[in-house]
Amino acid sequence: MVGQSTGSENAEVVPGGALLPLKRGAAGEPQTPGQGSEVEPTTRGGEAVSAAAGRDVEALALAFDEVETEGIKLLEIGSDDMLKCLQEGGAVIKASEPDEKVVLCTEDKTFAVRVVETSNSVFLVEDGSSECFQPRVTVADDGEAEANTGGTPGPMTQMATVSARACEGDGGSQAARRQGVRVCTIVSENWEIEQIAPDFRKLDELLRGLEEGGAAGGVEEEEGYTTEELLREIQGSESELLEELHARSDAMQVGDRWVHVSEATTSALVDVLVSKVCEGGWAWGDLPLEQVLSAMEAEDFRREATLHAVRTLGNAPLFLGSVTPESAGLIEESKLCVHYARRLLRKQSFGKAAQFLEEWHKVVPVGMEPSVEMLGGLALVDESGGLAVFDDLPRDPAKRFDALFAHQKRWRTKDLKLFAEGMTIPPGKQMDDVLEDYLHSYHPQGDTSNPLMYVQKVI
């Protein structure tokens, strides 16, 4: 099929008729301006004819179906790679809920799909063998087939009516003898796509459902979800989903299913892990993984769970099958200290940072030295020594900045960037771009020697 704009220089709708005179050269190609004589169409018996009879000009007949074909959409594609992906079936369109935005996902990218109105209408025509442009037909009560025309005549119905009236004079015989094309639908809008960040809010809900209810969507807690099941629910590509799952501390893969790791399970596991590392005399930065996994397995902790904990607190192979007797892992002191800080802050409130630091020193492993600098992104110590906790901040930049600036009106760059980590960054942008989109920056007193500050934009 092809699309032809009604604003074409080579075609003109003939008043009262269904034929478009199209100027062509000797080789059958449309003439360029200034080539040959102008064609002035006239009407005779419902048929458009050329006033320049006998010259190298032909008329193109357009026949309009009485019922517009439904379900035909035009998609604007910005690259050959995307076209190839669509042709090979490597992209899917998702909208799992009625109120969700429509997205198109390839193997590694997510695109928003938007409807755009066009200033011109596009005629979609078919060749004789095409089967895709077929009007919807239903069967009436009397057994006769009838077209589903809808309530209001559209442009196709109106054009078909004009065409039929124009041909009434000769019963359509002369128009039928002409070689032409059939217009099956007229399109005045198209879809366009724009790459966006994946939306993982539904993933949060699914994982919380496993923790709270034991069953979510008919899947038992111990069974979890396969990657394919999650892909059907998440507005994101497979690569983006797997990257997110591997980065999370509350989800791990057991066999071919993803299961939720609760906060209570993580706390119990880390306490035993710290105890085993200390008993074994192993260095935090050079853990013999096979021995660590075996020691934890003896305490009834899955090897997958232990490997997951080591990886989220430092570094370890992604998959259990990659662990060999020579494999080594590491646990970072700062991440382990932050784990205990978060657990302590969730248990009780601390008005002053000094009080919290005292309790924090008591719960971290012997030999580790927690510091205020480790709390970046979790808690903020103000000039008066007060402690403000920002746990579980929203992913959305606007909502996150609302939460942060509700606490204080001005933020220093180094503090703000720590609390901005983990929020959704649109593709093609960096952290500084997002800060510029939502915030104003300035140097106090206009002196560049003063630290750069941020305030929220007033909308």
| pLDDT (tens digit per residue) in 160-177 | 554 554 455 555 445 444
**267 and 256 belong to one structural domain:** no
pLDDT confidence of residue 290: 96
In this structure, the number of other CB atoms found within 10 A of the CB of residue 291 comes to 13
In Å, what is the CA distance from 125 to each residue of 55, 69, 192, 225, 358? 27, 11, 22, 45, 77
Q: pLDDT exceeding 90 applies to what percent of the chain?
A: 49
Within a domain: residue 402? yes
Domain with 282, as residue range(s), is 263-331
Total residue length of the chain:
459
Pair of tokens at residue 289: 């993984």
**401 and 457 belong to one structural domain:** yes
**235 and 293 belong to one structural domain:** no
Residue 360's nearest CA partner among 336, 381, 344, 375 is 344
**397 and 443 belong to one structural domain:** yes
pLDDT confidence of residue 58: 60
Q: Is the pLDDT of residue 136 over 80?
A: no
pLDDT confidence of residue 158: 47
CB-based contact 17:46 (threshold 8 Å): yes
In the three-class reduction of DSSP (H, G, I as helix; E, B as strand; rest coil), residue 77 is classed as coil
Backbone angles phi, psi at 102, to 5 degrees: -85, 130
Q: Is the pLDDT of residue 295 over 60?
A: yes
**250 and 267 belong to one structural domain:** no
pLDDT confidence of residue 116: 87
Q: How many whole angstroms separate alpha carbon 347 and alpha carbon 268? A: 15
Residue 71 or residue 148, greater confidence: 71
In the three-class reduction of DSSP (H, G, I as helix; E, B as strand; rest coil), residue 187 is classed as strand
Give the domain-ending residue among 331, 365, 380: 331
Pair of tokens at residue 334: 């700062």
Task: Label residue 239 by pLDDT band (50, 70, 90).
Answer: very high
pLDDT confidence of residue 211: 59
Region 334-350: mean pLDDT is: 95
- Across the chain, mean pLDDT equals 78
Within a domain: residue 210? yes
Pair of tokens at residue 444: 């106090």
Q: How many whole angstroms separate alpha carbon 148 and alpha carbon 160? A: 15
Residue 255's nearest CA partner among 189, 190, 323, 303 is 303
In the three-class reduction of DSSP (H, G, I as helix; E, B as strand; rest coil), residue 444 is classed as helix
pLDDT confidence of residue 24: 40
pLDDT confidence of residue 339: 96
Region 214-228: mean pLDDT is: 60
What pTM, to 2 d.p., does this model score?
0.71
Could you tell me the end-to-end alpha-carbon distance of the chain, in angstroms, rounded to an integer? 47
Q: How many whole angstroms separate alpha carbon 48 and alpha carbon 169? A: 13
Within a domain: residue 361? no
Within a domain: residue 326? yes
**279 and 321 belong to one structural domain:** yes
Task: Label residue 216 by pLDDT band (50, 70, 90).
Answer: very low
Task: Label residue 12 by pLDDT band (50, 70, 90).
Answer: very low
Within a domain: residue 67? no
Q: How many whole angstroms separate alpha carbon 35 and alpha carbon 169? A: 34
Region 331-356: mean pLDDT is: 94
Q: How many whole angstroms separate alpha carbon 151 and alpha carbon 318? A: 59
Q: Is the pLDDT of residue 419 over 80?
A: yes
Give the domain-ending residue among 312, 331, 350: 331
Residue 442 or residue 115, greater confidence: 442
**403 and 452 belong to one structural domain:** yes
Domain count, the chain: 3
In the three-class reduction of DSSP (H, G, I as helix; E, B as strand; rest coil), residue 95 is classed as coil
**219 and 267 belong to one structural domain:** no
**231 and 274 belong to one structural domain:** no
137: left (phi over 0), alpha (psi -120 to 50) or beta: beta
pLDDT confidence of residue 406: 94
390, 395, 401, 407: CA torsion to nearest 10 = -20
Pair of tokens at residue 199: 């939306």
pLDDT confidence of residue 389: 94
Task: Label residue 4 by pLDDT band (50, 70, 90).
Answer: very low
Region 136-158: mean pLDDT is: 50
pLDDT confidence of residue 189: 86
SS3 annotation, 154-208: CHHHHHHHHHHHHCHHHCCHHHHHCCEEEEEEEEEEEEEEEEECCECHHHHHHHH
Pair of tokens at residue 405: 């600036």
Q: How many whole angstroms separate alpha carbon 172 and alpha carbon 164? A: 8
Within a domain: residue 16? no
Within a domain: residue 125? no
Give the domain-ending residue among 277, 305, 331: 331
Least confident piece of the model among 76-80, 106-110, 129-133: 129-133
Q: How many whole angstroms separate alpha carbon 410 and alpha carbon 382? A: 12
Within a domain: residue 71? no
Pair of tokens at residue 182: 């059939």
Q: How many whole angstroms separate alpha carbon 308 and alpha carbon 10? A: 66
Q: Is the pLDDT of residue 385 over 50?
A: yes
CB within 8 Å of 140: residues ≥ 6 apart:
146
